[in-house]
Amino acid sequence: MKFIHRLEQAWAAQRSLLCVGLDPDPARLPGQLSSFAHPIFEFGRAIVDATADLVCAFKPQIAYYAAARAEDQLEMTISHIRRHYPAIPVILDAKRGDVGSTAEMYAREAFERYQADAVTVNPYLGFDSLQPFLDHENKGVIVLCRTSNPGARDVQDIASDGRKLYQLIAEKAARDWNANDNVLLVVGATYPQELREIRAIVGDMPILVPGVGAQGGDVAAVLANGATADGTGLLISSSRAVLYAGSGADYAQAARAAALKLRDEINLCRKFQGA
């Protein structure tokens, strides 16, 4: 099944647009996990188990695992999700982008080694750097377009023939790169006006929206500017605000409470808009 169809099923079955990012910082893990052989996996497993009924996707960030020499624990985490929650897609947040032969290895890493359903990619090197990912027709390829960080304007606002780079990326993604119907975009919640512009360019293409919670993005603005006519079209991602909602023995319950609050806020905004 194509990633887009899996995502649509998750939106409906879970009644959720929430994506929980798994960014396990060893320095912030609860102290009681220090005795475990695989503390990063145990942390991620507990978060997944506590929030699985509230999300449409999980998004592990590879850098947090690789920096801790814990790639095996990333594999364990994704395997746990696949075994216990097979209907929930897994997005590997890797932001890969390199020349074609190297990109092919990165695509194999994401889709064969880690068994991810989708991966984030950087389009700066152009189409040939994306093609090895796009050739995996049933996998999602999530292209950076308008990122949530303050420095996004430094490059993404560069103008060419009167249009900004992020607008050109959105147009190419929708017009040229989506032959297999497996392209999504990343647009930060911190740029709601740009989100509206990009939605107008790409139609119903799904958009991954990081930046709510710790980065200050507004849920109502995201829904108003980015949702499709049926009230979907978005994966609204939160990581730190959910993962580190608590730091004691009840950290998983605190994460669940934070995820439930955000899921309900998203659904309330959808209801208010008639979705």
pLDDT tens digits for 121-147? 999 999 999 999 999 999 999 999 999
Mean pLDDT to the nearest integer, 239-265: 96
The answer to whether 141 and 176 have CB atoms below 8 angstroms apart is no
pLDDT in tens, 170-189: 999 999 999 999 999 999 99
Mean pLDDT of the chain: 95
Q: What pLDDT is attached to residue 63?
A: 98
Cα distance between the two ends of the chain: 26
Listed residue (56, 6, 51) closest to 208, CA to CA? 56
Question: What structural domains and CATH numbers belong to the chain?
Answer: 3-272 (3.20.20.70)
pLDDT at 273: 64
pLDDT-derived band at 66 (thresholds 50, 70, 90) equals very high
Q: In the annotation, is 95 catalytic?
A: yes
Q: Where are the alpha helices (DSSP H) in 151-250?
A: 152-156, 165-175, 192-202, 219-226, 240-243
pLDDT at 275 over 70: no
What CA–CA distance (Å, rounded) separates 177 from 128?
10
DSSP code of 33?
Answer: G
Burial grade of 166 (CB within 10 A; 0-12, 13-18, 19 or more): buried
Options 95, 164, 172, 261, the catalytic residue:
95
Residue 214 reports pLDDT greater than 70: no
Contact of 6 with 184, CB cutoff 8 Å: no
Q: What is the pTM of this model?
A: 0.96
**Contact assessment for residue 168 and residue 178, using Cβ atoms and an 8 Å cutoff:** no
